[in-house]
Amino acid sequence: MHKNLTVAIAVPLEAEHVESIKTAHPDVTVLYEPELLPPERYPADHGGDPAFVRSPSQDSRYWDMLARADVLYGIPQESAAGLARIAANSKVAWIQAMASGAGSTVKAANLAAETLERLAVTNSAGVHALPLAEFAMLGVLNGFKHTSAMAADQAAKSWPDLRVPTRLVSGSHAVIIGLGEIGIETARLARAMGMRVSGTKRTVEAIDGVETVTDMAGLPELLATADTVINTLPGTPFTHKLINAGLFAAMKAGTVFVNVGRGTVVDEDALLVALEDGTISYACLDVFAIEPLPVESPLWEHPRVMVSPHTSALTIAENRLIAERFIDNLARFQAGEPLLHRVDPVHFY
């Protein structure tokens, strides 16, 4: 049991959500000094305005506030350096990260094994499941309905002599690589559009509404009949360039590819080859191996690629949803129960 807890708000957060935390947990002391936090440029701008600079006295107050806390709402400065600093100089036992992919920040902080055992970091996985699933469906529809070609014709004010038929989403086969929370929500929306759904999961088990669930060994067989392939996997050493030339070769011609997981999961050179040889008819990409996407990347100008600047998870409801997640997990922390969505200290996802 954890009593007399102190929580410090380490990242920009609207006062209304701070109040919701206080109201839900009146026995918890919440430290919140908004003047020490960079202003948001848009809803759920967790890093805040990069032009914001704390004075030396403000910076000292900021770190002193965090060091007095048992729990942090947000990784300090939304950076691995901030995480490493607070981990080395405080009693903090749990940090709620804003990102669903917070494992990469935890790994980059290069914390000692004993620190990773003592300090729990939870991510916001699941909070972003619905917006990511909606974006995945946008990618599928764009690919099936040839919207990139329509946009090009519109920009050229060209009414084509030959109107190319579009494809029906209903009745098509979607393969989701990674049936975690994001994958399950994507599967739900895909089924609502009449799609047949299969996918992969580390632990193979039946999932309602999913025709076939397999591990990675069974993925090539699924890809052979897929009309669209949607990646939701996180970036880990085990998933690095997992979707490579071999897996693209297992797909049939005309496959629509969507990536809402992590960019490092995809071999981008192999993706470009698959786009050129017709294996991939359209790619909708929210994430990339290097972000921001380098200006020299051919993905920027490819006529059948949508480049999204890693924004598909962002919604105006995000801060509220993360605060609600934190409130629930805080009750578990007080009771000494396992925290939900804790970042794996070995595999970092």
User: CB of 170 within 8 A of CB of 195?
Assistant: yes
Q: Does the active-site annotation cover 310? A: yes
Question: From the candidates 262, 302, 325, 341, which is the catalytic residue?
Answer: 262
In angstroms, the CA 25 to CA 21 distance is 6
Bridge-partner residues for 72, per DSSP?
8, 95
Residue 277 identity: D
Q: What angle in degrees, to the nearest 10, is found between the helix axes of 181-192 and 129-145?
A: 50
In angstroms, the CA 158 to CA 150 distance is 9
Question: From the candidates 17, 128, 310, 325, which is the catalytic residue?
Answer: 310
Helix (H) or strand (E) holding 274: helix 268-276
Exposure string for 43-55, b = 16+ CB within 10 A, e = fewer: ebbbbbeeeeeee
Bond prior to 292 in cis (omega within 30° of 0): yes
Q: Annotated active-site positions, please?
A: 262, 310
